[in-house]
Structure 1
Amino acid sequence: MAAASMSQSSTDIAPSADLLALAASRSVDDRHRLMLGVVALCKANPPTDGCAPALSDIFLTLARDAEARIRQTLAEQLADVPWAPRALLDLLMLDEIDIARPVIARSPLMRDEDLLRILVDATLEHQVEVARRPHISGRVADAVIDMAQPAPMAALAANTTAEISEAGLGRLIEHARRIAALRSPLSRHPRLNQKLAMTLYAMVGDALRTELQARFVDAGPALPAAIASAIETAASKPRSPAMTVLLASSSDRDGDRDEMDRRLVGKLQMSGQLKAGFLVRAVREKQIGLFEHGLSALSGFPLGQVRQAIRRAAPDALYLACAAVGIDRAVFPTLLKEMRALTGGLPGDEAAEVTTRSLTPIEAGYAFRLLMETETGLPV
């Protein structure tokens, strides 16, 4: 039989009178047509009490021998029906992700136990599909959060129908301190309340802060005041021993950590993934070593000069270095606040604000080099 017959839809299958002939055939194509024909027959006359054991065995036998694309068609056909054989769903939900996806996403027969089993036994892609499934229970949502994997948690944060408790949402916000992809969906989540929003406000950029302020208009100045207070408190505290180490020269820092940061930045640069956005995320996630090495690698400025720009009494050098690698001037004020929160107020104090004039990366790079040359007396 021609291969084209394998691509027929279930609405174009041989009549039920021909199913016995197909069952007698040993042809792979005929077995595929038989399987789709049985599905079409069941859809035309849906079983009222679920799939009979014999029919379930037929589905299982045929599905195990079928090619992946035929199993995918079977999964699509059975994803929405209430009479799908239980054993067949158990097989399909752990199959390749393209086959499992419609079953995980839509089957009305998926129970919490099934979804929890997928989280434990299947791949990361399967976990993401569980997190995306509409109306998952709080039990399943908590299990996704417990696994602490960025991609499934991001999918869960974007799933506005999931039954996430306030405590669960709070845990996601805590993970957002290190996982930037969680911040935007959490900022727009319908279950976000004012208390959680104040925690999230400190982590997000200006655009999301504006959205949060508009959404929680009853909070008045509470949201911006919360972040301002946190920054002021951090800036007024005496520097801890750890901060002293952070601001020391490269030779005085934790050598192992510094080398790890350098290697990671090197790998990102080699793969073409080192971008200006990475530097912004590094500061937001309190990874100042990654920011220093990343800025040095992207700009070509010596690492010592990058660290000197952070320790200066004014933020102009840091702005020039950031502008030289394409960090938008509208982003810099927020980056500067977050940097000062990490460094006890450096570069510069609040009175030493920088004029973020518009410069091309080439102009900013030249100005940075000129500034460093003027201060050190050495060409750069």
Structure 2
Amino acid sequence: MSSESLLELAKSRTPADRERLLLGIVELCDAGDGASAMISPQIQALLNSIFLGLVAGAERDIRKRLAEKLSTAEWAPPALINVLALDEIEIARPVIAGSPLLKDPDLIRLLVEATIEHQIEVARRPNLGCSVVAAILEAAEPAVMTALAGNTSAELGPDDMRQLVDAAREIASLRMPLSKHPKLTDGLALQLYIWVGQALRQSLADRFRLDPKLIEAALARSVKEAHIAAPSGQGAVVMARDGERETMEARLIEKLHSAGQLRPGYLVRALQEGRLSLFVVALATLGRFEMDHVRRVIDSDRPELLGLACAAIGIDRSVFPSILEMIRGLNNGFPGGGPEGARRAIGAFGPVSAQVAATAFRQAALSV
């Protein structure tokens, strides 16, 4: 786009022209000769003034496209990048994940000032520095710590790994990502073994070739410690129970929901992280469904009912096949029905309102 065209667009105040102006400036800067010229103080001051002036009144879709365009740009004004990183999460996500202009102090500020979803994206950022890791561990927010545990490129030292494994005793969602983490040591694996379920135990035993005698000794020691710590007359439970995990997940979902941060996209991310029970809690919360109804439907041979529930909370028809596949992968092939069941499930996304789909789900779930 020529400079003359940009000047003409600058005279317009229509949203379409403002978007074209913003993106035109981005393209002009991308085509600039030499990075050093673009980051000179004079050019940066000019760009900062132009961008912030335009973004202040820009519509959501324009800000979203701008964030995507600038997510890897090295010439963008840092002040603008920080503004976009604090925008709503769908706009901020690519900037938080990829902008080279967000430094450790900027990321720590996001951990302090931004929403839980922003904090989770910070914890997922590739090659996360040790000072940001320390800030995450100090805050000890379960969802953010879980995202950090799944970030294998983060600068996690031995003490950081030890702190995460210690926290896994109370935070069930930490166990799966930690069991697969490349920095997990033999000693920490043995400690983690005590708190995980049977499937993860087998995985840990295979990966680290844990000595059965050491395992028995660790289990015995843990039981003894738990009984010593338990109040008189009360039993001690060493292994995390399903109810404890569900309680922690319910608290997380309720916190997100109360803050207006629980959206359909969160359910997809829960499944991508292998957290089926978190998906169940989130689906029940968003749809105002009975938790037991959602569980029974997922364990049934009627995937069309799961389709109704997903349609009721605004999940798109095009996304559902991936959701169904991930759930089946995590739930021993259920909900069943095979390819025919999947076709029936897609039919649940018919030309009906979300309210009708929710009502249909509640009625049908009673018979499962």
Q: Match for residue 220 of structure 1?
A: 211
User: Please, which of 124, 130, 135 is the counterpart of residue 122 of structure 2?
Assistant: 130
Secondary structure of the residue aligned to 2:35 is coil
Q: Deviations over 1:169-211 (max 9, x none)?
A: 1111121111111001101110010111111110011111111
Q: Match for residue 262 of structure 2?
A: none
Q: Match for residue 303 of structure 1?
A: none
Corresponding position: 1:28 with 2:15? yes
Q: Tell me if the contact between 1:56 and 1:87 (Cα under 8 Å) persists in the aligned partners.
A: yes
Q: Match for residue 229 of structure 1?
A: 220
After TM superposition, the structure 1 = structure 2 runs for residues 109-120 of structure 1, keeping only pairs within 5 Å, are 109-120=101-112
Name the TM-score, length of structure 2 as normaliser: 0.61
Q: Tell me if the contact between 2:82 and 2:102 (Cα under 8 Å) persists in the aligned partners.
A: no
Residue identity in the other structure for 2:11: A
Q: Deviations over 1:268-290 (max 9, x none)?
A: 9995236999xxxxxxxxxxxxx
Q: Tell me if the contact between 2:78 and 2:102 (Cα under 8 Å) persists in the aligned partners.
A: no
Structure 2 Cα separation of the partners of residues 68 and 202 of structure 1: 48
Structure 2 Cα separation of the partners of residues 141 and 97 of structure 1: 21
Structure 2: runs of 5 or more not aligned: 237-246, 255-280, 296-331, 333-368
Q: Relative to 1, partners in 2 of residues 1:188 and 1:34: Cα closer, same or farther, differing over 3 Å?
A: same
Task: Report the alpha carbon displacement of residue 55 of structure 1 after superposing the two structures with TM.
Answer: 2.1
Q: Relative to 1, partners in 2 of residues 1:229 and 1:100: Cα closer, same or farther, differing over 3 Å?
A: same
User: Please, which of 217, 231, 245 is the counterpart of residue 242 of structure 1?
Assistant: 231
Structure 2 Cα separation of the partners of residues 69 and 116 of structure 1: 27
Structure 1 Cα separation of the partners of residues 172 and 294 of structure 2: 15
Corresponding position: 1:65 with 2:52? no
Identity %: 44
Q: Relative to 1, partners in 2 of residues 1:132 and 1:221: Cα closer, same or farther, differing over 3 Å?
A: same
Structure 1 Cα separation of the partners of residues 56 and 77 of structure 2: 14
Secondary structure of the residue aligned to 2:291 is coil
RMSD: 3.0
Q: Deviations over 1:137-158 (max 9, x none)?
A: 1111111111111111110000
Q: Tell me if the contact between 1:32 and 1:62 (Cα under 8 Å) persists in the aligned partners.
A: no
Residue identity in the other structure for 2:17: D
Structure 2 Cα separation of the partners of residues 88 and 125 of structure 1: 20
Residue identity in the other structure for 1:63: V
Q: Deviations over 1:37-91 (max 9, x none)?
A: 1111111225523143112211111111100110110011011111011111121
Structure 1 Cα separation of the partners of residues 66 and 32 of structure 2: 17
Q: Tell me if the contact between 2:67 and 2:84 (Cα under 8 Å) persists in the aligned partners.
A: yes
Structure 1: runs of 5 or more not aligned: 1-13, 248-259, 278-327, 329-380
Structure 2 Cα separation of the partners of residues 204 and 246 of structure 1: 20
Structure 2 Cα separation of the partners of residues 123 and 274 of structure 1: 30
Q: Match for residue 145 of structure 1?
A: 137
Residue identity in the other structure for 1:37: G
Q: Relative to 1, partners in 2 of residues 1:69 and 1:226: Cα closer, same or farther, differing over 3 Å?
A: farther
Secondary structure of the residue aligned to 2:204 is helix
Structure 1 Cα separation of the partners of residues 294 and 11 of structure 2: 64
Q: Deviations over 1:289-347 (max 9, x none)?
A: xxxxxxxxxxxxxxxxxxxxxxxxxxxxxxxxxxxxxxx9xxxxxxxxxxxxxxxxxxx
Q: Tell me if the contact between 1:198 and 1:226 (Cα under 8 Å) persists in the aligned partners.
A: no
- Alignment length, in residue pairs? 245
Q: Match for residue 4 of structure 2?
A: 17
